[in-house]
Chains A and B, each alone.
Chain A
Amino acid sequence: MCGIAGLFIKDPKLEPQLGALLSKMTATLCSRGPDSAGFAIYSAGQDGKTKLTIAGPTPAYDIETAAKRLRDAVAPKAPVATHYSHAVLTLASEQIPKAKAWLEANLPEVDIVSEGQRLEIFKEVGDPDDVAALFGIGGMSGTHGITHTRMATESAVSTDGAHPFSTGADQCLVHNGSLSNHASLRRMLEREGIKIKTQNDSEVAAGYLTKQMRSGQSLEGALKSSLNDLDGFFTFVVGTEKGFGVLRDPIACKPAVMAETDQYVAFASEYKSLAGLPGISSAKVWEPKPATVYFWERT
């Protein structure tokens, strides 16, 4: 099972509602994946600044203090925003390597969930509705976002194992399905210098796309290559700083439905999840074809 959804907003008037609409989409997907939930939100960013979203080993961990220690060590004036068990630091981009090195040396238990000019990822175990409420997703604005409700199959129920996975700046992926060649791919990616932190097959998929893009491919090209190199079942929804893409495996085992209006493009595992979107009754609704890349980009 697992439920995935994504919303790419075309009409800026809808941007303040991104989080509210995404959490409403997740609410109807709880039955597909009650183990954990995650949200990737692309909100406003500043040139030359990078957002680092960090999380501790458990929700009880004092992430706010950890984030402030990191800030004081790296950039004393940088803003820190705490959202439940995660904290987002906005740093000058050139400070990122120093911040990462400091974290590894001083707070190795703290995980970097995402890094990017605009991307913030929030994920936690538990009922997806509760997770959305704890992080305050409903109040967030942005241009696009993707979300996942997980039914664990390939790896443990843990915050690390929750989606979305981000293996490159401003890149993230949610996956519904299971990959059968993730072990060999993981070894290949690790040899190529892509760090895979968990035993989760979906993180391997995210790492694979990152590797393809680092080799100079566009996201569209990377998605196309994955049709040749990934075995198993998958429906992917991916985000980049400007874009939003969807891909299903050639058998198209996992469900998918899309909707488009002048205001947005939306993806979900089930139509039920799209039913609450504004103007859905007059939207173009269709099922994405197998082995076909769908991609939208902000202009």
Chain B
Amino acid sequence: MPNIDLSKTPVRELNAALHRLTPDTNETLWTVSNPGGEHSIAAGVDADITISIQGNAGYYCGGMNKQATIIVEGSAGQGVGENMMSGFIHVKGDASQSAGATGRGGRLIVDGNASARCGISMKGIDIVVKGDIGHLSAFMGQNGRLVVFGEAGDALGDSLYEAHIYVRGPVASLGADCIEKQMRDEHKAELHELLKASGEAFKVDVSDFRRYGSARKLYNFNIDNAGAY
């Protein structure tokens, strides 16, 4: 049970130790104390371990994560879980901009609010935000699911491809080519599974959510749509 105190050990050393872990490691529970908003904490981990960060993290916490479970017992700065491939990141406070950006897999849960561009260019990640999200969230989302319990800011899903977006609260405005879609049973089932995986099954009603997706008008260039690009 390694405990790394970031007030004494540089982040670079922590990350190097995490990167050295082999698949058969017995060091499966790591604690990171005094994170103090340092950047890139537990970035690039590729091991089936759990890392508990005891405070607020800076930029790119858990970026490129593969396999690991990373729990932030505070808030996270820009780009938490950016380009995550697999695994699980749980932020117990708020997340700053670009949470889960370009993520290809795994799951990101934010108990508080996420800021602008949450899930920008997401490519397979599942993101559950229990508070609100900022403007331009899921911009150019290509795959994966974004679930928001609260409100969404302006231009939600701008230039969206195939990501699924579920929002319970009001949406300030939809971005180009993003439309509200019918919530069919298969979507309720999908949302229920996501809520279950986030420990929220039966606590919130799937019927309260509205579904947003791509109108698919911008897939191929069409001069009639020039104003929307």
Contact = CB atoms under 8 A, between A and B. Distances in A.
Interface string B37-51: 111000000000000
B94 A271 contact: no
Contacts of B92: none
B78 A272 contact: no
B97 A271 contact: no
Nearest to B34: A275
B166 interface: no
A294 interface: no
B135 interface: yes
Contacts of B58: 270-272
A272 B115 contact: no
B116 A272 contact: no
Nearest to A273: B37
A255 B77 CA distance: 9
A256 to B, nearest CB: 9
B37 A255 contact: no
Contacts of B97: 252, 255, 287
B96 A257 contact: yes
A274 B74 CA distance: 14
B159 to A, nearest CB: 15
B36 A255 contact: no
B149 interface: no
B37 A275 contact: yes
B21 to A, nearest CB: 26
Contact of A252 (B36, B56, B116): B116
Interface string B82-123: 000000000000101100000000000000000110000000
B69 interface: no
Interface in A276-299: 281, 285-287, 289-290
B39 A285 contact: no
Contacts of B96: 255, 257, 287
A280 to B, nearest CB: 9
B37 A286 contact: no
Nearest to B55: A281
Interface residues of B, number: 19
A234 to B, nearest CB: 15
Contact of B77 (A251, A252, A270, A286): A270
B60 to A, nearest CB: 12
B59 interface: yes
Contacts of B136: 251
Nearest to B7: A275
Interface string A238-257: 00000000000001100101
Contact of B94 (A251, A252, A281, A286): A286
B137 interface: no
Contact of A272 (B38, B94, B135): B38
Interface string A258-272: 000000000000111
B94 A287 contact: yes
A290 B94 contact: no
A272 B39 contact: yes
A5 to B, nearest CB: 13
Contact of A270 (B37, B55, B115): B37
Interface string B56-73: 101100000000000000
Contacts of B116: 251-252, 290
B143 interface: no
8 nearest CB pairs, A to B: A271-B37, A272-B37, A275-B36, A275-B37, A287-B115, A252-B116, A272-B58, A271-B56
Interface of A: 251-252, 255, 257, 270-275, 281, 285-287, 289-290
Given A257-B96, A272-B39, 4 more contacts: A252-B134, A272-B58, A290-B134, A290-B135
16 contacts: A251-B135, A251-B136, A257-B77, A270-B39, A270-B59, A271-B37, A271-B58, A271-B75, A272-B36, A272-B37, A272-B39, A272-B58, A275-B36, A275-B37, A275-B56, A290-B116
